Structure 1
C-alpha cells in the first residue's frame, strides 16, 4: 500500500536528472530494516485497514461451511448420517463446487501469516501473547459450550466426548495431549498455535525484514526435511502440511510493508510449489472428492488476489461492512460444522436441500454476530485489562 503521508525532503533518496533533483522510484533501493526515524511512515503505510482481506476471510469461511454441508466425502456416502443419501444425488451442481470448499482452510493459513506479521510489528512478546489470547479464546469457549449442548440435546449424528475431554478442550491444547476435539474443525487451531509459538521467537528478538526472511527460509527448510527425517519432534514443530501457507502469508506481508523484490517472489514461488503438492496430498488422503487441477487453480487465484492486496491494488476498497464480515468469520468457523450438520439431519425433510444449506449458514452468521457483539468484544476487553495488570505486576515484582 503506497504511503500517502508527506515525508521530509531529506528522507527521500534523489537522483540528479537534467540539473534537477528528482525522487527515486519506490523500489529503486532494497528493503531496509525499519529505523526509529522511519517507523512512523511505515506504520502509516501498514497500519491502514486492509478491507479486502476481511472480504476474503468471509469468503473462505463460507467455502468451508458449504463444503462441510454439501461437498465432503462423508456426506456423499450412501446412508450418511447428515443427508441419508449421497449429496451428489440431492444437489449435484452444488456438490461439484462445494467439493473444493476445503481450500478455504489453506486460505485461512495464508491470511494468518500475513495478518499476524502485520499486527505484531513493533510489539513486544507480552503484547503478542495478549493479542492472541483475547482474539482466540472468548469465541472458542462459547463454541465449545454451544456445540456440546447441541450434540447432547440432538444425539445420533456425532458422539459427545467425556466430560474430562470437553474440559480439556477449553485449553485449546487437546491435540497436544492426544485428546479428540469437541468439533472436528478445531484441528486447524493446533496448526495456528504452533505457528504462533515459532513466530514468538522472532517477535521476542524484534521484527525486522531480515529476521522474517531468515525465519521463512529456516522454517521452510525444516518443513521440507521433516517428512524424510522421520523425527516426530521435528515434524511436530515444523508442521510440514501447513508451514508453506503461513510462509506465503509472511512473504506477502513483507511485500506489502517493504515492497517487492526477487527474494520475496522466490519465497512465494517456493510456497506455491510446495503448497500445490500439499493440496494433492490432502486430496489423496482426506478429501477424495475434488481434483488436483481445480484445487491448484483456486489456490493460485487466491494467491494472486493476495499479491494484489499486498501491492496496493485494492487500497480503494473501503466498504465498512467488510469489517463486520471479517469479525464473523472466526465464530462462524468454530460453530458451523458439528452443530450445523446435526441441524441438517433434523431438518432435511422439511425444505429444499439448497434452501436448507443457505438457511443454516444464515443462521450461523447471525449467531456469529451475536457472539462477536456480546461475547468477544466485552470479554476481550476484560481479558486485556486483566492480562495487562498481571504482566505489570510480574514486571514490577522483585526476585
Structure 2
C-alpha cells in the first residue's frame, strides 16, 4: 500500500498567483474543482483489494483456512488472486493526493502532514501485531514469527527496511515505497511547487527510473523505484490535469507511465504467482491496472463529481488502519473462526471484526493524537523559522 495512502480532505487549495510564464488561457492557471469524495471510495476499494489478496489469493499458507482457498472458495480465490493490483491503485492515488496537499505549503507543513497522518496508527499496529506474534500461538506451530525486542523497536521507526530489519507484518513494505516518494517530492516542495517544476520533476524521475536497472546502482534503484515510480508519476500528472486542465503533454506523460507500468508488471506478476502457487494471467493483470489508471483519470476529469456521499470520508479514514492490521492479525482471527464457521461466513465475520478494529484505531488513536502532534510539530517548525530569522541563518560566533 498504499501505502496505504492517506490524505487531508480532497479539495483543491485556493488558486495561487500565476508563476512567470503561466498565463490565463494557457491551461496553467488553476481551475476551481469540487471535492473528490470518490477518492475516499477508491482508497477503500484499493485497501479491500489488498485484504482479499492476503486472505483469499495467497495459497502458500493452507493452515490459515484449514485448507487452500482455491478449494474452499474457488470464486473468492479468483478475485483475490488478482486483487493485489489495489497496490497500484494506492500508488496512483498517492501521487495525486500528495501533489495536491503540498501545493502552496512549506516543507514544515509537508513533513507535519505526513508524520501526523502516518505514525499514530502505525505505532499502534506495530505494537498490536508484535503482541499478537509474541502471545498467541502462531499458525505455523513454531517460533519463526516471534519478533525480538530490537526488531519491534526498529519497526516503530518505519525505517527498518533500509537497515535490513524485516517488517513485523509484510504489508509494511509499501510504507517504505511511500517514504522514498515523500523524500523525493519533499525536495521539490523545498524548492517550491509550480507547474513547470512539477513537470520537470516527473521528467527527471522518469529518466532516473529508466536508467536505474542498467546503471546497476543500488542507491539509484532505491531512490528511483523503477518498478513503481510510474504510478506515482502518473498520479502527479493526473493531478495536474485536475488542477490546470488536460492537455496533450499531460496525456503523453500519463500514457508513457501506463506503458512502463505494463512492462514492469511482467516482473511483479512473478512474485505474486509465488504466493498464489499458480500462473496468473498477464492480460487480466494489465486489465486491472488499466482500470486503476482509468478510474483515477475519470475522477480528475469530473466523471464522478456527482458522488457526494459523506460516509465515504469515514470509509476513507479507515483504509490505513485496516491495511496495517489485516494480514498477520487477520490470519490469526481467520484460523480460529474457521473451527466454528464455513469459509464464506468466516470471511464476512473477519471483515467485520477488522473493520471495527480499524474504526477503534481511528477513533481512539488517530483522532485524538493527530491534532496534538500537529500543534506540537507546527510550533517546532515555527520555532526553527524564528531562530533562523533571528540568527540570519548562520551559526553564532564565539
1:130-169 counterparts in 2 under 5 A? Answer: 130-157=112-139, 159-169=145-155
- Is the counterpart of residue 216 in structure 1 residue 212 in structure 2? no
- Is the counterpart of residue 30 in structure 1 residue 26 in structure 2? yes
**Which whole-Å CA distance do the structure 2 matches of 1:227 and 1:72 have between them?**
29
**3-state SS, counterpart of residue 74 of structure 1:** coil
Kindly indicate whether the alpha-carbon contact (under 8 Å) linking 1:255 and 1:311 is maintained by their aligned counterparts in 2. yes
**3-state SS, counterpart of residue 83 of structure 2:** coil
Work out which of the residue numbers 341, 347, 372 in structure 2 matches 1:382: 372
Work out which of the residue numbers 102, 109, 114 in structure 2 matches 1:127: 109
Kindly indicate whether the alpha-carbon contact (under 8 Å) linking 1:327 and 1:372 is maintained by their aligned counterparts in 2. yes
Q: CA deviation at 1:294?
A: 0.8
Q: CA deviation at 1:172?
A: 0.3
Instruction: State the TM-score, normalized to the length of structure 2.
Output: 0.88
**3-state SS, counterpart of residue 308 of structure 2:** coil
**Which whole-Å CA distance do the structure 2 matches of 1:70 and 1:334 have between them?**
17
- Is the counterpart of residue 189 in structure 1 residue 175 in structure 2? yes
Alignment partner, residue 20 of structure 1? none
**Which whole-Å CA distance do the structure 1 matches of 2:11 and 2:168 have between them?**
44
List alignment gaps of at least 5 residues for structure 2: 1-9
**Which whole-Å CA distance do the structure 1 matches of 2:41 and 2:227 have between them?**
25
1:301-340 counterparts in 2 under 5 A? Answer: 301-340=291-330
Alignment partner, residue 282 of structure 2? 292
Q: CA deviation at 1:67?
A: 1.1
**Which whole-Å CA distance do the structure 1 matches of 2:260 and 2:36 have between them?**
27
Work out which of the residue numbers 85, 91, 98 in structure 2 matches 1:116: 98
Alignment partner, residue 99 of structure 1? 81
Kindly indicate whether the alpha-carbon contact (under 8 Å) linking 2:133 and 2:147 is maintained by their aligned counterparts in 1. no
1:193-272 counterparts in 2 under 5 A? Answer: 193-272=179-258
- Is the counterpart of residue 391 in structure 1 residue 387 in structure 2? no
Kindly indicate whether the alpha-carbon contact (under 8 Å) linking 2:73 and 2:343 is maintained by their aligned counterparts in 1. yes
Kindly indicate whether the alpha-carbon contact (under 8 Å) linking 1:130 and 1:384 is maintained by their aligned counterparts in 2. yes
- Is the counterpart of residue 45 in structure 1 residue 27 in structure 2? no
**Which whole-Å CA distance do the structure 2 matches of 1:157 and 1:228 have between them?**
42
Alignment partner, residue 16 of structure 1? none
Work out which of the residue numbers 339, 348, 351 in structure 1 matches 2:338: 348
**Which whole-Å CA distance do the structure 1 matches of 2:234 and 2:168 have between them?**
30
Q: CA deviation at 1:162?
A: 0.8
Q: Which stretch of structure 1 is more off in the superposition, 157-166 or 304-313?
A: 157-166
Distance 1:287 1:49, change over 3 A: farther
**3-state SS, counterpart of residue 45 of structure 1:** coil
**Which whole-Å CA distance do the structure 2 matches of 1:29 and 1:274 have between them?**
32
Kindly indicate whether the alpha-carbon contact (under 8 Å) linking 1:72 and 1:287 is maintained by their aligned counterparts in 2. no
Larger Rg: 1
**Which whole-Å CA distance do the structure 1 matches of 2:180 and 2:42 have between them?**
23
List alignment gaps of at least 5 residues for structure 1: 12-26, 35-41
Alignment RMSD? 2.2
| 1:110-157 alpha-carbon deviations (Å, 9 max, x no partner) | 000000001000000010000000000000001011111122222223
Alignment partner, residue 175 of structure 1? 161
**Which whole-Å CA distance do the structure 2 matches of 1:182 and 1:2 have between them?**
35
Kindly indicate whether the alpha-carbon contact (under 8 Å) linking 1:73 and 1:287 is maintained by their aligned counterparts in 2. no
Q: CA deviation at 1:394?
A: 1.9
**Which whole-Å CA distance do the structure 1 matches of 2:352 and 2:335 have between them?**
17
Alignment partner, residue 52 of structure 2? 66
| 1:163-199 alpha-carbon deviations (Å, 9 max, x no partner) | 1110011110000110001100000000000000000
| 1:244-300 alpha-carbon deviations (Å, 9 max, x no partner) | 110110011000000111111111111111111222211113334431111111111
| 1:15-50 alpha-carbon deviations (Å, 9 max, x no partner) | xxxxxxxxxxxx994332x5xxxxxxx4x825x421
**Which whole-Å CA distance do the structure 2 matches of 1:157 and 1:221 have between them?**
45
Aligned length: 365
**Which whole-Å CA distance do the structure 2 matches of 1:180 and 1:113 have between them?**
26
Kindly indicate whether the alpha-carbon contact (under 8 Å) linking 2:95 and 2:233 is maintained by their aligned counterparts in 1. yes
**3-state SS, counterpart of residue 54 of structure 2:** helix
